[in-house]
Amino acid sequence: MEEHYCWRCREVVPMVDETEYEELHRLFDECTHSVKEGGLDPDEGFKPLREAYSRLTGAKETHHDHLLEHRITAIGPPCTACGKPLRTPEAKLCAACGQFRLAARR
């Protein structure tokens, strides 16, 4: 777990590594099945996922949709202008400040 700026949340949040992500993704699938097939209320059905995220990161996350977005490998390198991570490793524009990504020189 590392803390990085999330362009969706517009704040620094705990982001999980790949091992932690695999656990959360498995739980997300199980919880989705419980809600769709078992008729559980989404708040109750996704409770195990929120609890696992809290256990892994120490942070309380209130909405299950955000959890899988907080993944270290999903963010890009730091912006050369503002230092916040780009939205994706392939992003050409910083969502935080609008700076275009400088092309790598060969």
3-state secondary structure the chain: CEEEEECCCCEEEEEECHHHHHHHHHHHHHHHHHHHHHCCCHHHHCHHHHHHHHHHHCCCCCCHHHHCCCEHHHCCCECCCCCCECCCCCCCECCCCCCECCCCCC
**Is the pTM for the entire model greater than 0.85?**
no
For 21-56, what is each residue's pLDDT tens digit?
999 999 999 999 999 988 888 889 999 999 999 999
pLDDT of 20 reads 95
